[in-house]
Structures are given as structure tokens and as C-alpha cells.
Amino acid sequence: MKNSNGAFHFKEGEVLLIDKPLEWTSFDVVNKIRGTITRKAGIRGIKVGHAGTLDPLATGLLILCTGKFTKRISEMMGLEKEYTGTMMLGSTTPSFDLETEIDEKYPTDHLTQEAVYEAVFDFIGDIEQVPPLFSAIKVKGNRAYHFARNSEKVNLSPRNVTIETFELTRIAIPEVDFRVVCSKGTYIRSLVRDFGKKLNSGAHLTSLRRTRIGKFSIDHAITPMQFEKMLENFSPEVNEDREL
């Protein structure tokens, strides 16, 4: 992503590293970036897509591709991902995060730092996990979250995923901070739910940030608002023909 002199080539293809704000959907970001390119660069009908959804309550790295580079999206979706976050032990929610209210509470008096650390090893390597019902997975032609929000029960099949790294960076029971490096298709919310079960307690996700996708780091990402500011001096004569 070039930004020193406004040298973008949106139609030929750009890879944009965007830091998704809290409570924005991934499609909110796509629509914002597409609208910004249309308004600021005068390029209508530009293709923009993202390479891997982030939940609204997660922040962090979202890869966007424009123009001809949208053909590379499926390739980028297969890259490993890194997350940091916080879980709360001793309680669960239907969505496995803060999207929904706490539905069950569990004891934590029996938990020690040693027990919490030891539980990690059961989740490293190739594992099976059941995705959250509050997710965009398709069931009977509809997104799973449609059934969840209507309080309808559906069964989701377990998926094989790979957890390369599951590191606990802070333990202050009931809060635990972590870092995870994982394969495509991994749901951190499900990992947290299963971790709580392993501890004979419960757990739900309270914060999540995606920090890396393959070689792409959050350190090089900008917010949608920063991207808009960058395009204030966009020069179509220098960069590309404005007509599609």
C-alpha cells in the first residue's frame, strides 16, 4: 500500500491493510473504502473485497483488495492468522462473546494459574471445533446467526482447524489474556468456549484483535478514516485513468 505520494493504482489492483474499528462489520469497511475511492479518486464501479471476515466486536487487520487484485482474495483467505485477546472465565454467553448477555455462571474457585496454563496444551495442533451458532456459516440456505437470533436450534458440524500457537500472556483469574496463531476457519470464540469447558468452568471472549495475516502485519495498517485523508491529494493524472 503506497502512501507517500498518492501513487495508488486501484483498477490494476491494490492490497490495502485496514485496521477495522470496533463495532464495524467487515462489509462496513469494504463499503467505506469503496465509497472513498469513488468520491476522492473519481473512480466509479471499482471492485473492492475483503480477505477474511472479522466479527463486529473484534478490531484489527482486514486485508482489502481492489480492482484486478480481487482475484487474489481466496489465496489470501488461506493464510494463517494471529490474534490477541482477553477471555473471562466463570461465565458464558450464547454468542461466546459480548454480543449477547451472560446466560450461565460457573465456579472459578478451583482454578489455579498452573491449571490454566496446563489446559492450553490440549488445544495446540490439529483440533476439532464446533463454530458458534452466532456466525455467518450457512445452514439450510441461511446464515447461522439468523437461527440464533430467532432462538432456533440447529446443529453445526465440527471443523478441523490447526492451532500453531496458544500463548497465555496474562492470568488474573477470572481474566486471561492470550495470543493465538491459527489456520483459516478457526473461531477464537469457540476456542475460548472450549477452553472454559476444559477447566470445568465456563468462558467467553471479551476482546479480540487480529494482528497478522500471513506476512501482513497490523503495524502497517491504517484506519478507514486515515485512508480517506490519504486520498485528499489523489492525482488521477499521475496515478491512473479515471474512466473505467
Instruction: Name, in order, each residue with C-beta under 8 angstroms of 92's C-beta and a sequence gap of 6 or more.
Output: 102, 103, 104, 106, 193, 196, 202, 203, 204
**Category of 193 on φ-ψ map: left (φ > 0), alpha (ψ -120 to 50) or beta:** alpha
Residue 95 to residues 92, 204, 205, 240, Cα–Cα distance (Å): 8, 8, 9, 45
* Backbone Cα Rg of the chain: 20
Phi/psi of residue 223, nearest 5 degrees: -80, 165
Q: In angstroms, rounded to a whole number, what is the distance separating the alpha carbons of residues 32 and 26?
A: 10
Residue 165 to residues 47, 60, 103, 123, 145, Cα–Cα distance (Å): 35, 19, 30, 9, 28
Catalytic residue of the set 55, 97, 126, 219: 55
Among 39, 61, 62, 35, which residue's Cα sits nearest to residue 50? 62
19 is catalytic: no
**Are 87 and 188 in contact, with CB atoms under 8 Å apart?**
no
Q: Which residues are catalytic?
A: 55
